[in-house]
Amino acid sequence: QVQLVESGGGVVQPGGSLRLSCAASGFTFSSYGMHWVRQAPGKGLEWVAFIRYDGSNKYYADSVKGRFTISRDNSKNTLYLQMNSLRAEDTAVYYCAKGRELERRYVFDYWGQGTLVTVSS
């Protein structure tokens, strides 16, 4: 069965950095695009970033462009999100999600349990 397990969350000061990881199992990780999605406390879902199966293309929400970097290591079945210049408004639960492709569009078919990032002094 598909499993996605996020880690790396915690408390960080404004302007600081954090790297999130998402360990994947139960499917051929190297064949699927992957997403990061976040949810601020009591708020809705916000897509953050996407990386194609081979890492050849990456896409970012405007709110994180230039500060966050998505990457993957297919040999380790792991997805990453490097977050720099963190702001209070980046405080959220961060989910990784597997992308299912259909006609070059990607729906999110499996999600991890999430990891909480809190940006506070």
Binding site for another protein (CB under 8 A): 35, 44-47, 50, 59, 61-62, 95, 100, 102, 105-114
CB 87 within 8 A of CB 119: yes
Residues 6+ apart with CB under 8 A from 23: 3, 4, 5, 7, 77, 78
Q: What are phi and psi of 29, to 5 degrees?
A: -50, -40
Question: Whole-number minimum distance, CB 56 to another protein, in Å?
Answer: 13
Query: 13 vs 57, which CB is nearer to another protein?
Result: 57
Query: 1 vs 121, which CB is nearer to another protein?
Result: 1
Question: Whole-number minimum distance, CB 113 to another protein, in Å?
Answer: 6
Interatomic CA distance for residues 84 and 66, integer angstroms: 9
Question: Whole-number minimum distance, CB 66 to another protein, in Å?
Answer: 15
